[in-house]
Amino acid sequence: MVEGAQSAAERPRARGSPSSERFRHPPGEYRTDSRVRPGGRRQGAGEGRTGGASDTLLASAPMRVVDLDRDMRDVIPTGTSRDSEFLFDRMTDCTLGAASAGGARRILDVASGFGQDARALAGEGAFVVAAEPSARMSALARMQEVESDTARTEHVRAWGDALPFADGSFDAVFCKGALDHFDTPLAAIGEMARVTRSDGRVVLAIANFDSLSCRVARGVDAVRQDWLGRPPPRGRRHYDVPHDHFTRYELGLMREQASAHLTVEAVRGLSLAWGLPAWSRAVSRLPQFAARATLETFDRVARVLPALADVVVLWGRPRRAATTSA
């Protein structure tokens, strides 16, 4: 995408507009993609400061705030309770199942993190490329491959919105639990569509911050504070957008962004009520088989009501006309 050519769906919305709370960062603080050059190539961190007149020119340009060496061990949740384990397993199974459906052989994992999903698909015989901008995350992923002696994947250091691959290189591309970390998610979806072959599949999996559990918890906290005069809850609530997210996703926004570059073929809602402490406690006290049956029943409800689900997985075919850059 050409510099400055963000579409309406990606542009940060003004504070106070009906959709503004979808975005964590109001326009003044919003980290824009000002450093992507036409053609999609990005300047490296620290590049571009030439001094003198160009400094003056650059002074008003918003800078992209990134830490290329970050690792996300502290933000990637791991299964610590039955309902968490269930949710993360469902998210993985559904995403990888959709990506490998129809015998996809060449698969790209965008924002591959520790590479566990790429390794799993490589273990099933696919050729998998793990694209990840953080050198530290990729190093940890490589270490895991060596230590566990599992199938190897190709590691490529890359941003989601400037994928270094030719058009139509992959049968399937997926991006799991990461799009809300991107500063230019719409451009990244466009790139995913571009590098997928025209009858291939792009799979996006994302947490829903308008899930039933977020709505209930927000409502309960509001009643406690506004009507009962209780102090605000301490610490981050599961409905609060984490500090390292750029976008607050819910089903409508997910569909809107995906539809700009994909013909959406399926939307799956996964799991219901995750994040409510009382629900988590109740599930943990049930006998194993009853807990499983309960979580699966709620999961089936989420499937027909994706707007209320904890996680949404969406997939579709690339829409070529919409992905051609100027």
List residues near ligand SAM by CB under 6 A.
Answer: 72, 75-76, 111-113, 117, 132-134, 137, 159-160, 176-178, 181-183
Contact 64, 44 (CB under 8 A): no
> Is residue 13 exposed (0-12), middle (13-18) or buried (19+ Cβ within 10 Å)?
middle
DSSP letter assigned to residue 238: T
Q: Min. distance of Cβ 181 from ligand SAM in angstroms?
A: 4
Looking at beta carbons only, is 82 or 181 nearer to ligand SAM? 181
Looking at beta carbons only, is 23 or 182 nearer to ligand SAM? 182
Q: Min. distance of Cβ 111 from ligand SAM in angstroms?
A: 3
Q: Min. distance of Cβ 318 from ligand SAM in angstroms?
A: 18
Q: Min. distance of Cβ 122 from ligand SAM in angstroms?
A: 15
Contact 180, 298 (CB under 8 A): no
Contact 195, 167 (CB under 8 A): yes
Looking at beta carbons only, is 169 or 221 nearer to ligand SAM? 169
Looking at beta carbons only, is 182 or 298 nearer to ligand SAM? 182
**Side by side, which strands form the sheet with 311-318?**
154-156, 127-131, 106-110, 170-176, 196-207, 311-318, 262-270
E strand or H helix that includes residue 291: helix 288-304
Q: Which of 24, 21, 19 is nearest to 9 (CA)?
A: 19
Contacts 24+ apart (CB under 8 A), 83-86: 83/271, 83/273, 83/274, 83/279, 83/280, 83/283, 83/284, 83/295, 84/274, 84/280, 86/271, 86/292, 86/295, 86/299
Q: Min. distance of Cβ 221 from ligand SAM in angstroms?
A: 25
Q: Min. distance of Cβ 118 from ligand SAM in angstroms?
A: 9
Looking at beta carbons only, is 68 or 101 nearer to ligand SAM? 68
Looking at beta carbons only, is 130 or 309 nearer to ligand SAM? 130
Looking at beta carbons only, is 83 or 183 nearer to ligand SAM? 183
Q: Min. distance of Cβ 74 from ligand SAM in angstroms?
A: 10
Q: Min. distance of Cβ 285 from ligand SAM in angstroms?
A: 29
Contact 71, 136 (CB under 8 A): yes
> Is residue 214 exposed (0-12), middle (13-18) or buried (19+ Cβ within 10 Å)?
buried
CA 250 to chain centre: 12
Looking at beta carbons only, is 133 or 279 nearer to ligand SAM? 133
Looking at beta carbons only, is 117 or 210 nearer to ligand SAM? 117
Contact 269, 323 (CB under 8 A): no
Residue 305's identity, in one-letter code, is: L
Q: Min. distance of Cβ 179 from ligand SAM in angstroms?
A: 8
Task: Quote the CA–CA distance of 131 and 118 in Å, as a whole number.
Answer: 10
> Is residue 34 exposed (0-12), middle (13-18) or buried (19+ Cβ within 10 Å)?
middle
Task: Quote the CA–CA distance of 303 and 108 in Å, as a whole number.
Answer: 26
